[in-house]
Homo-oligomer: A and B are copies of this chain.
């Protein structure tokens, strides 16, 4: 039953499992919608009305740092978060920004030895663009 938060070996800083952190992780885990910080804030608020948006941001940062959740930094848009960690890729609706999972995506080859003048390439990812069902049906949604 040991806590995950007892000690960070690197920094020596003791991390605490606060109610807020617990609820944020719980609620994110219940979602498949890849919410933004603010969207998750609205949800968490229902269980904990006084929580602040800053706390949500801070904990999402922390959890991403710990590798417990993943940041989805999709091109030119707001940051989104995902508690599902199995390797997969993402599509984004170019109309509304909704993000979906792609499990049968393109497999990228090893990229570490690529010859790119001026850069040492360390990684790569594929981003898909698309239209979500909702936007496809309602042909003029934002």
Q: Chain A interface (Cβ within 8 Å of chain B)?
A: 71, 73-77, 79, 91, 93-94, 100-102, 104-106, 108-109, 111, 114-133, 136
Stoichiometry (number of copies): 2
Contacts of A127 in B (CB 8 A): 75, 124-127
Are B126 and A91 touching (Cβ within 8 A)? no
A37 to B19 Cα, complex, angstroms:
42
Do A122 and B131 touch across chains, with their CB atoms under 8 A apart? yes
A99's nearest neighbour on chain B, judged by CB, is B119
Beta-carbon contact of B104 and A115 below 8 Å:
yes
The CA of A136 and the CA of B122, in the complex, are separated in Å by 12
Nearest B residue to A111 via CB reads B128
Is the Cβ of A102 less than 8 Å from the Cβ of B116?
Answer: yes
